[in-house]
Amino acid sequence: VFPPELRFASVKLFYRIFHCFSSYCYFDITEIDGVNTNELYNAVQLYLSSSVSITGNRLSLTRAVNSSGFTFGLANNDSIVDTFNGVNVLWEHVVTQRQAQTFSWRPLPDEKRGFTLRIKKKDKSFILNSYLDYIMERASDIRRNNQDRLLYTNSRGGSLDSRGHPWESVPFKHPSTFDTLAMDPHKKKEIMEDLLDFANGQSFYHKTGRAWKRGYLLYGPPGTGKSSMIAAMANFLGYDIYDLELTEVHNNSELRKLLMKTSSKSIIVIEDIDCSINLTGRKNNNGSVSVSASRSYYDSEIRAGGGCGEEGGNNITLSGLLNFTDGLWSCCGSERIFVFTTNHIEKLDPALLRSGRMDMHIFMSYCSFPALKILLKNYLGCEACELEESILKQLEEVVDVARMTPADISEVLIKNRRKKEKAVEELFETLKLRAEMNEKSGVLRGKNVVEEEEEEEEQEKRALDSESPKQESEIEDNCKEEEEEKKIK
Ligand SMILES: Nc1ncnc2c1ncn2[C@@H]1O[C@H](COP(=O)(O)OP(=O)(O)OP(=O)(O)O)[C@@H](O)[C@H]1O
């Protein structure tokens, strides 16, 4: 009976009166905002998925592409109460049929979906300030946990893929974790704590004015678990990995572009850095740092591809690499970890190793006794306490002197993994043989491995401490000299 205009006006009036007397206010969060997808809608859906999975009776269930987890959702027109800091809010999932479209540039779904958030008027400012931010954060955590890790590598010859992206990706399914990694448990704990401190340290980095990034240098002989450590780090933090092949990068600007296209919460890896870029050019023949060391010197003298005798034909300079790790561009994006690996730390330029670039130097050593116990547990399923005391003692005696890598030891264990006793016996024989060979050839010079390793680490630290300040003063002197020369000219 009512004409549509009158009907519309009376509904509007009714709502106004209703809202005046109601103690609630409502917010509509639609799936599509105009023509764009509403980020908040997706975030709310993910956020609610954790609470509805426990309380809901009828749920929608989805699994996104590249995701290893299921997402629970509120069924159509269902509602749920959520509590945030003692405040109750009501979420309703509203689904209505969309009117048939006459014409549209972009076809929209037949259904119009959205969430309605009902909160008490008195809680409005509190909820709007912190609850929605909290939802966005939780949603991105859930998304990251559900999503498969990705392993990116830079395209050959710097070419772009069909989407104009310089990185190609594959799902990252490396099973290495800190549990499977054989290394000294104290060292392992220290690394894990450092990683957690970094991942939870947003406010600290903000407060101290530091870019939210951290550098790790993994060094040690081949087969000691450097790559496994990177995989364990990625699995531990849930980060993607960008495996940067430096020999495929032509120049510094290409390097910078690659950096700009990496995402937050990622680990950028350069493996065997000493083979990717020639870092020895800065040193004199006797190993001391050249007096003429300066950025311009790096630029002109140090070229990539010379480290392992291969000519890569690319023009990345050390200066470019230093800028990559801690220049202004390294701060585009946040929460990034740089990991460099090398078998020859002595070949690396001290400038690359200083704190701020490589904050933590991790020495991946030959297999020690605590690491051996982890391998025995992982490969044979036997705890150290299950083995006879005498066998353990024998193993402990030879393992340090044998200087075998965890990779070598795991090969011996894999062969006999079904027969525990035979595996332990063969392992002992192999370790003994190696230890004898080492002693005969005088590799150890009367010291045990741990002492040698500690000494190596100590030497490296001393070299760094003495070189860093010297270098900076040298660089300053050089700059001054250059300026004076320019003035005279
Ligand atoms: N510390 C370790 N803990 C457990 N497994 C290890 C460890 N080190 C090596 N391995 C085993 O040996 C194999 C090779 O190790 P990995 O590639 O991580 O060594 P790497 O130090 O990176 O060697 P390279 O320097 O040659 O790249 C791995 O697949 C893993 O199974």
Q: Quote the ipTM score.
A: 0.96
**90 forms bridges with which residues in the sheet?**
81, 118
CA of 271 to the centre of ligand 1 (A): 13
Which H or E element spans position 152? strand 149-154
Parallel, antiparallel, or unpaired for β 360-363 and 213-219?
Answer: parallel
pLDDT for residue 419: 84
Give the C-alpha separation, 267 to 263, whole Å. 9
Return left, alpha or beta for 403; rule: phi > 0 is left, psi -120 to 50 is alpha, else beta: left
Query: For residue 199, which of 102, 264, 296 has the smallest C-alpha distance?
Result: 264
Nearest to 409 by CA among 386, 434, 385, 388: 434
Cα-to-centroid distance, 19 and ligand 1 (Å): 66
Question: Which of the given ranges, 73-87, 114-128, 189-203, 334-348, has the highest pLDDT on average?
Answer: 189-203
The preferred substitution site among 227, 243, 363 for testing ligand 1, maximizing ligand atoms within 8 Å of CB, is 227
366, 410, 415, best to mutate for ligand 1 pocket (most atoms within 8 Å of CB): 410
Q: Closest residue (by CA) to atom 13 of ligand 1?
A: 407
Measured by CA distance, the residue closest to atom 16 of ligand 1 is: 225
Task: Judge whether 317 and 259 are in contact, CB under 8 Å.
Answer: no
In the reported structure, the alpha carbon of residue 221 is separated from the centroid of ligand 1 by a whole-number distance in angstroms of 10
- Which residue, 178, 190, 314, is CA-closest to 236? 178
Look up residue 312 and give its DSSP letter: -
According to the model, what pLDDT value does residue 289 have? Answer: 33
Q: Would the pLDDT of 27 be above 80?
A: yes
- Per-residue pLDDT for 280 more than 50? no
Sign of CA dihedral 229, 230, 232, 233: positive
* Closest atom of ligand 1 to CA, residue 343: 25
Taking the C-alpha atoms of residue 145 and residue 237, their distance in angstroms, rounded to an integer, is: 9
Contact partners, residue 22, CB within 8 Å, separation at least 6: none
pLDDT for res 170 = 87
φ, ψ for residue 429 (rounded to 5)? -60, -45
* Six-digit token string for 195: 């990683």
> Taken in order 125, 126, 127, 133, is the CA torsion positive or negative?
positive
User: Residue 36's pLDDT is what?
Assistant: 74
pLDDT of residue 358: 87
Query: Taking the alpha carbons of 201, 202, 207, 213 in that order, is the dihedral positive or negative?
Result: positive
For ligand 1, the distance from its centroid to the CA atom of residue 296, given in whole angstroms, is 38
Confidence bin at 460 (pLDDT 50/70/90): low
Q: How far apart are CA 77 and CA 362, in angstroms?
A: 54
Q: The whole model's pTM is what?
A: 0.69
Is residue 32 over pLDDT 90? no
Interatomic CA distance for residues 89 and 81, integer angstroms: 6
Ligand 1 atom nearest the C-alpha of 375 is 4
Q: What residue's CA is closest to ligand 1, atom 14?
A: 223
Listed in sequence order, the residues at least 6 apart from 193 whose beta carbon sits closer than 8 Å to its beta carbon are none
Six-digit token pair at 399?
A: 């393992």
Per-residue pLDDT at 299 exceeds 70: no
Burial of 345 (0-12, 13-18, 19+ CB in 10 A): buried
Q: Which residues contact 66 (CB under 8 A, 6 or more apart)?
A: 147, 148, 150, 171
**What atom in ligand 1 is closest to the CA of residue 231?**
18
Sheet containing 360-363: order of strands: 167-172, 149-154, 240-243, 266-270, 336-342, 213-219, 360-363
- Of 186-190, 356-360, 402-406, 457-461, the poorest mean pLDDT is in 457-461
What pLDDT does residue 221 have? 92
> How many angstroms does the Cα of residue 366 sit away from the middle of ligand 1?
11
What residue owns the CA closest to ligand 1's atom 30? 407
Q: What is the dihedral of CA 118, 124, 128, 134, to 10 degrees?
A: -70
- Cα-to-centroid distance, 387 and ligand 1 (Å): 25
**Tokens coding 250:** 């032509």
Residue 55 has pLDDT above 70, yes or no: no
Tokens 């002989």 sit at which residue?
221
More confident residue, 312 or 113: 113
As separate numbers, helices (DSSP H) first and strands (DSSP E) second, the chain gives 17, 15
Q: Whose CA is nearest to atom 10 of ligand 1?
A: 407
Nearest CA to ligand 1 atom 25: 222
DSSP state of 99: P
Please state the atom number of ligand 1 nearest to the C-alpha of residue 228. 18
DSSP classification of residue 277: B
Task: Tell me which of 202 and 474 has the higher pLDDT.
Answer: 202
CA angle 375, 188, 416 (to 5 degrees): 5
Q: Which residue has the least CA distance to atom 26 on ligand 1?
A: 222
Task: Supply the pLDDT for residue 287.
Answer: 38
Stretch 126-134: mean pLDDT, rounded? 84
Q: Would you say 87 and 119 are in contact if contact means Cβ atoms under 8 Å apart? A: yes
Q: Give the span between the Cα atoms of 165 and 94, in whole angstroms.
A: 38
Query: For a substitution probing ligand 1, which of 180, 224, 380 has the most ligand atoms within 8 Å of its CB?
Result: 224
pLDDT confidence tier of residue 209, bands split at 50, 70 and 90 = confident
CA distance 445 to 195: 37
For residue 176, report the distance from its CA to the centre of ligand 1, in Å.
10
How many angstroms separate the alpha carbon of residue 223 from the centre of ligand 1?
4
Gap between the Cα atoms of 274 and 252, Å rounded: 17
Cα 232 to ligand 1 centre (Å): 11
Chain CA centroid to CA 481, Å: 42
Per-residue pLDDT band at 456 (split at 50, 70, 90): low
Distance between Cα 437 and ligand 1 center (Å): 23
Q: What is the mean pLDDT of the chain?
A: 78
Question: Beta-carbon neighbour count of residue 265 at 10 Å?
Answer: 17
User: With bands split at pLDDT 50, 70 and 90, how would you rate the model's confidence at 458?
Assistant: low
- Written as six digits, the tokens of 177 are 């974790």
CA of 129 to the centre of ligand 1 (A): 48
Of 173, 174, 228, the residue with max ligand 1 atoms within 8 A of its CB, to mutate for a pocket test, comes to 228
How far is residue 406's CA from residue 404's CA, in Å, rounded to a whole number?
Answer: 7
Per-residue pLDDT reduced to its tens digit, 215-266: 999 999 999 999 999 999 999 998 999 999 888 888 888 888 888 888 888 9
Question: Closest ligand 1 atom to the C-alpha of 181?
Answer: 3
Tokens standing for residue 109: 């779904």
Ligand 1 neighbours, Cβ below 6 Å, are: 180-183, 222-228, 343, 364, 406-407, 410
Cα separation, 424 vs 380, whole angstroms: 9
Cα–Cα distance, 42 to 243 (Å, whole number): 30
Instruction: Please provide the DSSP assignment of 425-466 as one string.
Output: HHHHHHHHHHHHHHHHHTTTTT--HHHHHHHHHHHHHHHHHH
Measured in angstroms, how far is the CA atom of residue 376 from the centroid of ligand 1? 15
Nearest CA to ligand 1 atom 8: 225
Question: Measured at the alpha carbon of residue 197, what is the angle toward residues 69 and 180, in degrees to the nearest 5?
Answer: 55
Distance 227 CA to ligand 1 centre (A): 6
